Amino acid sequence: MVGTTVSHYRILERVGGGGMGVVYKAEDQKLGRLVALKFLPEEFSKDRQAMERMRREARSASTLNHPHICTIYEFDEHEGHPFIAMELLEGQTLRQLLAGGALPTERLLELGIQIADALDAAHAKGILHRDIKPANIFVTDRGHAKVLDFGLAKHVPRGERALADGAASALATDIAEEHLTSPGSAVGTVAYMAPEQARGEDLDARADLFSFGAVLYEMATSRQAFSGNTVAVIHDAILNRDPVPPARWNPALPQDVERLIAKALEKDREMRYQTAAELRADLKRAKRDSESAARAIVGGAAVRREIPPRPRPSRAAAAAVAAIALLVLGGLWLLRSRRASAPPRSEWTQLTHFTDSVTSPALSPDGRMLAFLHGPDTFIGPGQVYVKILPGGEPVKLTDDALEKMSPVFSPDGSRIAYTATPWDSWVVPVLGGKPRFWQPNASGLTWVDGEHILFSEIKTGVHMALVTATESRAEARDIYVPPPPSGMAHRSYLSPDRKWVLAVEMDASSWLPCHLLPFDASSTGKPVGPPGGRCTSGAWSPDGRWMYLSVDTGGGFHIWRQRFPDGAPEQVTSGATQEEGIAMAPDGRSFVTSVGSVESSVWILDERGEHQVSTEGYASFGSVGSPRSYFSADGKKLYYLMRRESARDFDDGELWAAELDSGRTERLLPGFTMAHFDISADGKRVAFSARDRGGKPRLWLASLERRFPPRRISSSDDLGERRPVFGPAGDLFFAGLDGQTNRPYRMKEDGSGRQRIVPDAVGPLFSVSPDGEWIALRSWSVTGGEPGGGLPVLAYPIRGGPPVKICEGCRLVKWSADGKSLYFSYIGMGIWTTTGKTFALPIRPGRALPDLPASGVRSKAEAATLPGVHVIEHGNISPGRDPSVYAFTRISAHRNLYRVPVP
């Protein structure tokens, strides 16, 4: 075919071929680019199975736009010969590369991260490759991995996508799955099949991860993990035998790399990596540790070479050297402090003068108008949209409704303000007055790219929120960033002035994360920016694009930081007793507007005496949203709560306190221990709590409230984060195991022994355990409910097995009363710390663990209010007392106004 023209492609040369395809280099005469054309071999040109496999390859790969997946341009036919036009790659397959021996660890990890990223992208689109092997991975001359040949791929429709925890459904075609290779055989290549694949069972994404583990093994050793002279021998090895530890073939292989390969090759898929993102994270961690170790070795060697032994200096000489060093260091510190010093408070200009709370500043493109949210309870969530002319105009209210709102922003011409309103939709209101109107469904944190295109956050399933760009009509939609875990949420985004970079505000299953810098063309997943470990809620760019500004909490409250783009060191801009959140950069770059003030929280009780305050100072709460049960003591005479310390990493972490309700006396129970989740044993003698270690991972602890033994860590795993402990009967302790960013329910004994995962198909944060220990309630990441943005369902799972029962959809904070007579569930606002909303208490009949519920669960607040026997509570985040008429709750008080702060 060389020299001929096929469609609009002129074939230049043959570049490769195999049993299922012949590949030619060709010139696209329309676009003037070089491409690869893949044809079926002549003997397969009339074979329906081969045709279907090629069509499947084109269809699957063409839906994926990823730097480590070979790009498909089109699928066409020429004179009865089907062909695929695809990206032309120069290099060699991984199989050819491994013919030269095992790869160095750094090379293995670099390529492994790229392959894992490609698989993560494919799985996110519902595509299982099912034939991952070295021959289907190409390594370009520039060192980039490209996943090839999706001819055996299976697409899982969106409504049936259960890639991490369930079997995938078949793709409806006229060609049976089992006939894509040969009749009666399992789909895939034998030596790289997962055990479930070899058995011909239904597959999910974890089968691809097993195959990838076999590839990693081969990259580390240049030997196949499972080999033999016959297919039967290889099948037996895959099903029943562990491969030789790779370090035996490659002693230089680091232990953490050997461990991750072993985990990828677990025969039980429940014990294997559950997602490609999880495996990618471990590969990145191993790469970082390997590079750190190499730098340490090289650095140590350099020191030994460059500093020869020398006579010991006299005391006087040593003192002189020390003095000079101190002067130099002092000068450097002074120079740096001047460069990054915060502007004096006297130079801050107050722009609003409300007595309660003003947040979320936004400036018009010309800097003459200021938009913001104002309301008595505004912290993150409720409020009305206002606008004022700067510098001295009167604030004008543009909205007046009960919708919770976030993130106002001006249109490019300054005529409209868009904002987010419940539930994660965008509304617009004219600046000159007029009725607000619903504008973009399932689009939050919206901003404009230009006069025609927008950038926004879109919920894919449940609460999984990605960054997307499109036109205002939602045409040309393109994903910019999809957080890997199903609980990941990219909430807001800020486009750089040159429209090449995006700052993203992101959350995981438990809290805000550092802000994320990523390319607008989605060519990579980017990197975190700002102070390490900080919780970032908003961002902005300087007009020249040289600085990134961030609102970050590093433990002492939110302040403004900045970092020179792209790799500068973070510098703190504001500090002090107040907190600063939200950033609106002035068009001239000389100042920014931020919300300045303080937020306090107190614990209250409603009983026969009415509402009365329990805590008296500081920031008191029940910890992270979602207490597992009542925080009243069994006799109702005490109430336990947390008091935030300034050094707390998260805003809702604190020390454990107890209040005696009759006398009003309060007591600090475990000085020095900061926790986010806790539970008190039924006898009131012990507390189980989750506290972060030095690396930031949550660990479980047990302490005696009678001080009979010192607090002791009872975590049973070094690689599993552990949160939300709940005491169960018979000495059991239930908790949520945080595996990467995925919550799964576990239990163990109070001494840390006997850890086991319960209800294997349940994925989501643990809310509560029934008093008899037979049911758990959790919000399920693996079950989608309602429309996007409507929220995930909360399910009750029987621990001994059986189908789950849907309690409610879009609700939160499900918990049983201590006596098992009532079940409470809440609908609360958008803000992570908000206390707005309603709680519903349903009676439970004697002898049962669940109340009478609708067959499809409770679907809304309106439906919940009509249920027989329901008790409605006008607070969202409560701790139930002896009956639904008694409960404790938190009350947040925010005092904020907007200030203009000069840029240092």
Distance CA 116, CA 69 (A): 11
Asked whether residue 591 carries a pLDDT value surpassing 80, the answer given is yes
Asked whether residue 352 carries a pLDDT value surpassing 50, the answer given is yes
Taken in order 506, 512, 513, 517, the sign of the CA dihedral is: positive
For residue 170, give Cα distances in angstroms to 174, 178, 406, 675: 12, 11, 41, 46
Which residues share a beta bridge with 745? 736
* Average pLDDT score over residue span 847-874: 92
- Chain centroid, CA 33 distance in Å: 38
Tell me if 887 sits within 8 A of 879, measured CB to CB.
yes
Tell me if 207 sits within 8 A of 192, measured CB to CB.
no
What is the predicted pLDDT for the residue at 694? 73
What is the predicted pLDDT for the residue at 43? 61
List, for residues 470-512, the tens digit of each pLDDT value. Answer: 999 999 999 999 998 777 889 999 999 999 999 999 987 667 8
Distance CA 627, CA 456 (A): 32
Tell me if 884 sits within 8 A of 871, measured CB to CB.
yes
Which of the 8 DSSP states describes residue 597?
A: E
The three-class DSSP label of residue 878 is strand
For residue 873, give Cα distances in angstroms to 513, 839, 860, 887: 32, 5, 15, 9
- Tell me the Cα Rg of the chain: 30
* Average pLDDT score over residue span 832-853: 83
Q: Which of 362-371, 503-512, 800-809 has the lowest mean pLDDT?
A: 503-512
Q: Which of 49-58, 468-477, 588-597 has the lowest mean pLDDT?
A: 49-58
What is the predicted pLDDT for the residue at 154? 74
Taking the alpha carbons at both ends of the chain, their separation in whole angstroms is 67
Q: Is 780 exposed, middle or buried (0-12, 13-18, 19+ CB in 10 A)?
A: buried
List, for residues 661-716, the tens digit of each pLDDT value. Answer: 988 888 889 887 888 889 999 889 999 998 887 777 788 999 999 888 989 998 75
pTM above 0.85?
A: no
What is the predicted pLDDT for the residue at 295? 56
Asked whether residue 10 carries a pLDDT value surpassing 80, the answer given is yes
Distance CA 438, CA 899 (A): 30
Residue ranges of alpha helices (H) inside 388-486 are none
How many helices (H) and strands (E) the chain has is answered by 11, 57
Tell me if 484 sits within 8 A of 460, measured CB to CB.
no
List, for residues 247-300, the tens digit of each pLDDT value. Answer: 878 877 898 999 999 999 999 999 999 999 999 999 999 998 877 765 554 444
What is the predicted pLDDT for the residue at 341? 57
Q: What percent of the chain has pLDDT over 70?
A: 82
How many residues in the chain? 904
What is the predicted pLDDT for the residue at 628? 63
759 or 835: which carries more pLDDT confidence? 759
What is the predicted pLDDT for the residue at 896? 87
What is the predicted pLDDT for the residue at 187? 53
What is the predicted pLDDT for the residue at 378? 47
The three-class DSSP label of residue 46 is coil
Tell me if 893 sits within 8 A of 602, measured CB to CB.
yes
Distance CA 160, CA 402 (A): 36
DSSP string, 880-898: E-SSTT-EEEEEEEEEEEE
Asked whether residue 729 carries a pLDDT value surpassing 80, the answer given is yes
For residue 584, give Cα distances in angstroms to 23, 367, 517, 588: 54, 10, 18, 12
Residue ranges of alpha helices (H) inside 781-833 are none
Token duo for residue 751? 């001494």
What is the predicted pLDDT for the residue at 577? 75
The three-class DSSP label of residue 206 is helix
Sheet containing 91-93, strands listed edge to edge, beginning at the edge strand earlier in sequence? 91-93, 137-140, 145-147
Asked whether residue 304 carries a pLDDT value surpassing 60, the answer given is no
For residue 272, give Cα distances in angstroms to 245, 259, 416: 17, 11, 51
Phi–psi pair at 33, nearest 5 degrees: -125, 160
What is the predicted pLDDT for the residue at 64? 79
List, for residues 379-411, the tens digit of each pLDDT value. Answer: 444 589 999 999 888 999 999 988 888 999 999
List, for residues 86-144, the tens digit of each pLDDT value. Answer: 888 888 999 989 887 889 999 999 999 999 999 998 898 888 888 899 989 999 988 89
Report the mean per-residue pLDDT for the chain. Answer: 82
Residue 759's nearest CA partner among 734, 729, 793 is 734
What is the predicted pLDDT for the residue at 775? 92
Token duo for residue 598? 């303080």
Taken in order 148, 149, 154, 159, the sign of the CA dihedral is: positive
List, for residues 22-32, the tens digit of each pLDDT value. Answer: 888 999 988 88
Tell me if 551 sits within 8 A of 559, measured CB to CB.
yes
Tell me if 41 sits within 8 A of 20, measured CB to CB.
yes
3-state SS, one letter per residue, for 644-673: CCCCCCCCCCEEEEEEECCCCCEEECCCCC
Which of the 8 DSSP states describes residue 619?
A: B
List, for residues 619-669, the tens digit of each pLDDT value. Answer: 788 876 555 668 899 889 999 998 876 544 455 678 899 999 988 888 889
